[in-house]
Structure 1
Amino acid sequence: MTEVVLGVCGGIAAYKACELLRLFTESGHGVRVVPTASALKFVGAPTWAALSGRPVATEVWDDAHEVPHVRIGRKADLVVVAPATADLLAKAAHGIADDLLTNTLLTATCPIVYAPAMHTEMWENPATRANVATLRERGAIVIEPAVGRLTGADTGKGRLPEPESIYELALRVRHRGLEFDLAGRHVVVTAGGTREPLDPVRFLGNRSSGKQGYALAKAAAARGAKVTLIAANVTLPDPAGVEITRVGTTEDLRAAVVKAAADADIVVMAAAPADFRPAAVAPQKIKKTDSGTPEPIVLVTNPDIAAELGANKRPGQVLVAFAAETQDALENARAKLTRKRADLIVVNEVGADRVFGADHNDVTILGSDGSTSTLGELPKADVADMIWDRAIAVHKSLVGDGEVT
């Protein structure tokens, strides 16, 4: 049984930590809640005790003979602080230990995940950004806050991610232990399928659900990366710890990817952009004609985003392309690998009932060095980690183990 310490700070989002606690306990994890004094003004100790089934630790002086400020951190397999306030992040970054939670953070040798929640101005303040950077440099996972409704009428970045997303990311961090091999790296992941409008109500598109791209983004966040996820028409819940840009068409996707890739270490093009778009978009809904024969739709070719990225790669930057094929998959993928100047290409055979929308994938990874790795059918989360394993190896071969491009 995993021993989890759930630290709770004094913010209006403290009530969401109750749901996070329930997710941990109902899946069989033992949880010790360590709230700050301010947190107890939002949610009382009896609530935490009832939900965890354990006494709530609030003071360094409680049960002093057991030395709780040292024991709790030492026994933990995982520490999650949600919500984490600007005050708590500052104390953690500077090693201040003035209550039981901050003492626990100093003594814990397990993975630590911080889920910040605060007003936008506080999150964007240079002092907070510096504290977050310090914690990440030391190997902690600091989740990017969500964008949405804050306290009162305010809206912006600083909202606590949903408990289910925090829970999923925390378990992935626990699974990987202290191996944060993407820490300090910026990765860009695309997901979903683009849509090219025919008229105000119709579009050309594809069946991509975005599940593999989202799995890649989640895995990268759990491995410590700064993640930019560019999502094309995806309806999945937002993953915790990533910056999300939403796009519609292939041109939108191209603009967003080119911008995000400017300082990225690794770019993974998991989205399925439409190869063609209508030459002209009808201003009104296209009507049936009396003859029953519609006017032909003239198509033009969309830009090849991966090829553009490959042609403009910075030294040390890694490009991972995808090839969704219906026939001659490996032959077509090898040609794409060369044409797009990618370092790796992930190829799978797709169809109406294959891959798109499924929770499993069956892929082969081809490398520009001539390597071939066939993974077999696996959950998309496992496929994601294997893709990152290969991409990280390529990146290290280009820049060395400790360098960041």
Structure 2
Amino acid sequence: MTDRPAPARSRRRRGARVVAWVVPAVLVLGAGGYTAASATAALPEPVLTLAEAATAEFSADAAPVQAAVDAQTRPSAVGWLEGSDVWTNDETPRPLASITKLVTVLVGQERELLAPDADGPSYVWTEADVDRQDELLSQDGIAYPVPEGTEMTRRQMLTLALVPSANDFAAAYAYSLFGDNDGFVAAVAGWADRNGFDSLTITEPTGMDSANLGSASDIVRIVRLVLADPTLADLVATERATLPWGIGTVENTNPLLGAMPGVIGVKTGRTVRAGYSLASAAQGELAGRPLTRIAVVFGRETNDARAADSKALLQQLAAAPQRIAAVSEGEHLGTLTAVTGEEVDLSAGAGADLVLIPGEAAASTLDVGANALLLTAPDGAAPPEPVDVLRSGDFAEPGLWWRVTHPREVFGF
């Protein structure tokens, strides 16, 4: 028998049967893939709506500080050890008198450091030192004559230079390190240039020369360096000291030291041309933050006047730091909105305060991933602990039906 092709109608019936089961199979398989993809797709992160700006900035008002300085009728400047700003009513370089000795000892410490617990090398008093003492006494300078050949430690020299403001020991200290006055002056010029003390001119180490000049604002900055040196900070805070060689007990010339609570030095200065000047510092605290305020006054008419003006400025500075509430406990910080539309509120788990002095700035930043409000501290201040961020609840995981029926939210189309 000869084979014959199947009729066309029979072939069409078989094709229709294939289509009848293949198309539904494809649709079923496609729906299954879509469902599987919907079930496993990562959902977009919740959207954060902030109650305030993401980063809040804080600062303390400096206007009262400038007003306090401006109220002084003679050159004055103030600042804090913990800050870098200075407020002044006069930038003119003025005669420094014995405030010069702060520069002398800082430059000396840079050349050869005396540690807080050390006496330092010995020095033997020379004939030149004796001659210098006689000259200083003839000029009404402070000196404590000792015989040629007297042996002393560097700490004893610094004690006499800074506590009773002995010019002879300040000069001997400087020349023992730098060789002579030219060497000392050159060292000071380099040091002043490196530290940006543009107003400073120093011609000798004692302050007897009225050509020793500096602005009140630069002296505030110099006081910061003195107080940062533990050896010098201890010496300028010494009320009295007992020395050998028949000198006995010497008293600090600072009229506020021991008379005003918290005062820790720093240095007096007086000549006919300079008048009565005083660089002073006092410690205090606000909300557990230690703060040291600094005041410099130049050219007062009497010792009492420089003491009174310095005390007034230090007291006004004590009221200037501000305790600022960075966040309150329970404060609403923002809202997280899930892709489903569900919302979770964010709030501060505790309150947090910042203590700022004028010129300082701090900030708070909400870190949702860390569940924390991060607080930044001013330079030199201890960083505050982060504040826990509380959530009003947790987001419910959307079910399969929601995922399948919300392709735009799940896949972004």
Q: What is the TM-score of this pair, normalised by structure 1?
A: 0.28
Q: What is the TM-score of this pair, normalised by structure 2?
A: 0.28
